[in-house]
Chains A and B, each alone.
Chain A
Amino acid sequence: MAETLTAASSHGEHAHGEMSFWSKYVFSTDHKVVGLQYMFTGIFMGLIGGFMAYAFRMQLAFPGVEVPGYGLVSPVDYNALVTNHGTIMIFWVAMPVLVAAFGNYLIPLMVGADDMVFPRLNRLSYQVFLLSAIVLICSFFVEGGGFGGAWTAYPPLSAQSQYNLTPLGSSLWLVAVGLEFVAFLIGGINFITTAMNSRAPGMKAYDIPMIVWMIVVASIMFMASVGPLLAGAVMLFMDQNIGTAFFDPDRGGDPILWQHLFWFFGHPEVYVVLLPATGLVADIITVFSRKKLFAYRTVLYTVFATGVLSFTVWAHHQFVAGIDPRMAHVFTVTTLLISIPIAEMMFVYIATLYGGSITLTTPMLWALAFIAEFLIGGVTGVFLGASGADIYFHDTYFVLAHFHYTFFPIAIIGFYAGISFWFPKMFGKMMNETLGKIHFWGTVIPFNLIFIPLFVLGASGQHRRIYDFSHFPNLSAPWQQDLRILATSALLVMLAFQSVFLVNFVWSLWKGRKAGKNPWKSNTLEWTAESPPPHGNWSELPTVYRGPYEYGVPGRDSDYWPQNEPN
């Protein structure tokens, strides 16, 4: 019965006609607006996080220099900058952009729904998120400055203000992170319920585009892992402000307990942000190689396996924290095991590319760069997973370079891949390809020039979270300082090239070529809506007849086969 019901007819009952600016862009419950709000907030926070990296990298390359645009970086500043850089990049950039922005924008469109199942909860999710960002930013300006106890916030440093010197900053940091989690939990409930209950008729489990699956699995993982950390955050907050001693060994507490609570969440979190990125890469490479995704179901089972396994590896972050060496063996084994499904996923993508008719558009370049760079991150992780080797590598720049080779492809390359691919849908205009490619090379080459030197420095024993290496005679050889200067210079180049993206973004919004509904000749449902889709997405909601990756099917005139076409 319901099939005859159209979105338009039901919309009639609501006066959608003229909405004020406020109700349309600020307090909207439309999943697309909420998605874009998340995206722009994420970009804004990314600029802050990048600026912080600039400030502390300048200090490392030129100790004691007056950093243009920042000023002198004091030791306390340095700690706060590093801590908040890490926190922002993961919780206020990677999460909102990859999970929330793409999740909100794409899930209803890709499953053929007119909105999320709980639109008002969705709006609340963004509002809580915005509040969390404001609290975090305020924490930089309170007395004592922002929290400087590292993004992992290990007690006793984080718990006692006589150590961290930021009594208010560390509590505000904790509150901000807690609020951010609440925002994503609300969002996650929406993502999962919508993908399960609002799919277009005919869309079976294996017809769901990869990115939707990935965001759903990521949301489930987030929900299942964040509880213990929330508990830990409440306990830490009480230690800071009420005088309890959950993590104080002098009074019957246990600081290692925090590490378990943190990393039980922290490791799955890596996959929470990784999965959406791999999902959108799958969608992009199939479109631009005009080939079916190799082994759709295998990828899906792989993801489920990864999801489960990722809950069993957390103590590989604690090999040198005094855990039982027999336990370390167990976690070594699970950690090495988990590299298998991820490696398999990368091979599946390469197999998808094999023999395809590849077009190197900007989104495709980003997607390919994701695969290449992430592989480096993955391979170097194997060294760290082996507990014996990690005793040497732990807390060096080798670790740092390793996780930047995973996070940068995820958060930055993944975002650029996604935005350059869906920009036409979001804003109805094409982005400029030439500027896009300049920006691509201007980002990816410097990225490697930043972090390859840091691998080398790490292997030579350079520790993380150090303010000034000239205090360490065996870390201040001229060649080491030269590598630091190289990394910082590459960062300056990379940051400068980001302006090309901003120019391209604004210019394309304003003057870009009209995109039409389906500029990439893609199969998935979002491309059957107008660009940009109106409130309610379709005048008549689509029905699905096949999977999302039917490209280059033999015997058909066109090389693609949209999901909603009966034949």
Chain B
Amino acid sequence: MPISVTNQDYGRIHLVADSRRQPLLASSVMGMLLFVLIEAMLFAGMISAYSIIRSGAMIWPPPDQPRLPIEETAINTAALMLSGLLLFVAHRRFRRDRARARTPLLLSMLLGAVFVVFQGVEWVALIREGFTLTSSSQGSFFYLIVGMHALHAVAALGVLAYVALRLQRGWLASSQLAAAEVFWYFVVGMWPIIYLVVYL
């Protein structure tokens, strides 16, 4: 990686040490991977807690709770997967011709935003039907886990927006794109697991 990229990465000049080596993994990517490790354990904690409560319950789902919108969410899941795929396309294009990465990147963000908005609409409908944080332990876990995922999705969309801005200005380093990708793939990859465990 050329020095100028390293320096740009952190907006700092005095990171000379970094440029004296050729790290296997750029620091920004490694930092993001570590962050993702933490968050993966966070979700692991919530999902195993959910499984324990669910397997210990006499009847599941708890009585008088509305049915979760499985079919609609399946479509939404597909949208999110597609978004991940588009980001990968952006990555491929970025390597050859930076300008052509723009469209798939923006489309990927758009689909990500659609996912989040659709999720919000779903929540409103569920709350209308009496399915809330406190209506049952299913409700508590549903909003906890899905909400935590939504929070990550929004944060990752913010990171992608920052990346898009830098791409626009021509300042985007490939390590920055890679770090943002790690974050988004985590959000995308986490979702099918949540869908399987929480919805089905």
Contact = CB atoms under 8 A, between A and B. Distances in A.
B189 to A, nearest CB: 16
B193 to A, nearest CB: 15
A118 B23 contact: no
B133 interface: yes
Contact of A223 (B14, B17, B34, B49): B34
Contacts of A193: 27, 30-31, 34
A541 B17 contact: yes
Interface string A203-237: 00000000000000000000111111111101100
What DSSP secondary structure best describes chain A's contact surface? helix
> Most chain-A CB neighbours within 10 Å: which of B14, B19, B30?
B14
A242 interface: yes
A554 B14 CA distance: 40
B15 A114 contact: yes
20 contacts: A2-B16, A5-B19, A11-B14, A14-B14, A115-B14, A196-B25, A197-B26, A198-B15, A198-B18, A199-B17, A223-B37, A227-B39, A227-B40, A227-B43, A228-B44, A231-B46, A242-B134, A245-B134, A252-B57, A253-B53
B14 A536 contact: yes
A10 B14 contact: yes
A201 B18 CA distance: 10
A252 B45 contact: no
Contacts of A246: 49, 53, 137, 140-141
B18 A117 contact: yes
Contacts of B25: 196-197
Interface of B: 3, 10, 12-21, 23, 25-27, 30-31, 34-35, 37-46, 48-49, 52-53, 56-57, 62, 133-134, 136-137, 140-141, 144, 148
A321 to B, nearest CB: 14
Given A193-B30, A197-B27, A261 B38 contact: no
B51 to A, nearest CB: 11
A266 B60 CA distance: 31
Contacts of B48: 228
Contact of A244 (B3, B17, B133): B133
Contacts of B140: 238, 244-246
Interface in A108-132: 108, 112-115, 117-121
Given A189-B34, A223-B38, A244-B134, A13 B17 contact: no
A312 B17 CA distance: 38
B49 to A, nearest CB: 6
B37 A10 contact: no
Those 3 A-B pairs whose CB atoms lie nearest each other, nearest first: A227-B41, A228-B45, A113-B17
A468 interface: no
Interface in A10-68: 10-11, 13-14
A192 B141 CA distance: 33
Given A193-B34, A238-B144, A227 B44 contact: yes
Contact of A14 (B13, B30, B56): B13
A197 B41 contact: no
Interface string A299-338: 0000000000000000000000000000000000000000
Interface residues of A, number: 59
A227 B57 CA distance: 25
Contacts of B43: 227, 231
A117 B49 contact: no
Nearest to A197: B23
A119 B45 contact: no
Nearest to B26: A197
A207 to B, nearest CB: 13
B147 to A, nearest CB: 10
A498 interface: no
A557 interface: no
Contacts of B44: 227-228
A6 B17 CA distance: 9
Contacts of A257: 49, 52-53
B30 A252 contact: no
Given A227-B45, A232-B45, A242-B133, A10 B21 contact: no
A186 to B, nearest CB: 9
A6 B34 CA distance: 30
Contacts of A536: 14
Contacts of A252: 53, 57, 62, 136-137
Contacts of A264: 45
Contact of B38 (A3, A185, A234, A260): A185
A224 B37 contact: yes
A14 B15 CA distance: 12
A230 B21 contact: no
Contacts of A229: 45
Contacts of A192: 30, 34
B144 A115 contact: no
A189 B53 CA distance: 33
B16 A5 contact: yes
B200 to A, nearest CB: 20
> Most chain-B CB neighbours within 10 Å: which of A119, A227, A260, A541?
A227
